Structures are given as structure tokens and as C-alpha cells.
Homo-oligomer: A and B are copies of this chain.
Amino acid sequence: MPKIVDHDERRLELVDATWRIIARNGLEGATMREIALEAGFANGALKPYFPTKDTLLEFAFGHVFNRTNQRIVKVTEGKTGLPALRAFSMEVLPLDEERINEARIVIPFWQKAINDPQKAALHQQSMDEWLTTIRRYLAEARDNGDIKAAIDDAALAGQLLNMLLGAQIVAALAPAGHPGPGLDEQLEGFFTLLTR
């Protein structure tokens, strides 16, 4: 009987190996050969899963985004308005090693996306989803009177999202072990501005 292989499982193993290699060697140093080695695959055994490094990188980004979203679903459960917005934002901020590693994946992805419309569209779609989420929480916070500021919600949502994106750069480039000091204070500052 042929061995039963869980192909989804194998793909995720490859994504994890890709993260570790990119975090260690950078994007250029992450060759398909190195990734195969790290994941314990025979050289050439990656091809059926990811024919090119590009397809692997695209899948890895999609996976980072999904994983972040799964965590967001958990931390926002039962919350609406401002508490939900705070929980969402704290989860996107790179405040621990796992999320700093995610920032180290997403910056190479952005760099690729500058000259790759398909990756740029994938980024845009992800950001549009987040903007929609943020605006829903803002609308709820207006409904219950927590936010009174006479500023368009689209501008507030863009402001918060860009702050969260900028924080990825701060954290990914910070010397190891210093995950961008003050990121959570900045976020609290933004909430204070919003609600006073």
C-alpha cells in the first residue's frame, strides 16, 4: 500500500522551515536547497509542493496572515468597539518573538511585492480586510459613545493600520531581544487621543 502523505501538513512544515531560514539567513540566503535541508526533505522533493521560491514565499505570507487572523479571532471573542480594537491592534503589534519573526517574513514579502503585481494584490486584499475590521470596531465605538472625535473613520483606520505596519519595521530591524521598546505605549497613546 502506498504511504499516505498529508500534503497540507507537508506544506506547513516547509513554511516553518522557510521562516527559520529567512530569519537566520535573510531572503537571498534562503535557497530552495537550504529550505529542503532544514525541513528534512530530499533535495528536489520540494518541487511538487512549491515549484519556485516565489510560490513558497506567497504561500508563507498567506499563512502568516491567516495565523495572525486566527489569533485575532481568539483575542477579540465576545468583544466589540474599543476593547475589540485594542485586542486586534495588540495582536498585530510585534510584541513577542513569534510576531517579530512574522515581521521578518512580511518585509521581504513587501520588497518582492514592489515589482510583483500578484503579490501586491495579495497584500492589498489582506490590508483591505483589516481596514474593514478596524472600521467595524470604530463604528461600534462611535455607537456607544467611546469615540467622539470629528475625524473620518477612514482616516482613523488608515492611521492605525500604517502605525501597525511601521511597527513591523521597527521590530524586525531592532537588535535581537529588543522588540521595539514603546510600541504598546504608542498604541495606548493613540487610544488616549481617540477617546479623550
- Interface pair B158/A165, CB less than 8 Å apart: no
* A186 partner, pick from B29, B155, B193, beta carbons under 8 A: B155
A153 to B169, CA, bound (A): 21
Closest B residue to A158 by beta carbon equals: B186
Closest B residue to A120 by beta carbon equals: B173
For the complex formed, measure the closest distance between the CB of A132 and the CB atoms of chain B, giving whole angstroms: 15
A30 to B193, CA, bound (A): 44
The stretch of A32-40, A65-73, A102-110 that contacts the partner chain: A102-110
Offer 21 A-B interface pairs, CB within 8 angstroms, sorted by A: A26-B116, A107-B114, A110-B169, A110-B173, A113-B173, A117-B175, A120-B175, A123-B173, A149-B193, A151-B192, A151-B193, A152-B189, A154-B182, A155-B186, A155-B188, A155-B189, A159-B186, A159-B189, A162-B162, A165-B165, A193-B193
- The residues of A with any CB-CB pair to B shorter than 8 Å are 24-29, 104, 107-108, 110-117, 120, 123-124, 127, 149-152, 154-156, 158-159, 161-167, 169-170, 172-175, 182-183, 185-186, 188-190, 192-194, 196
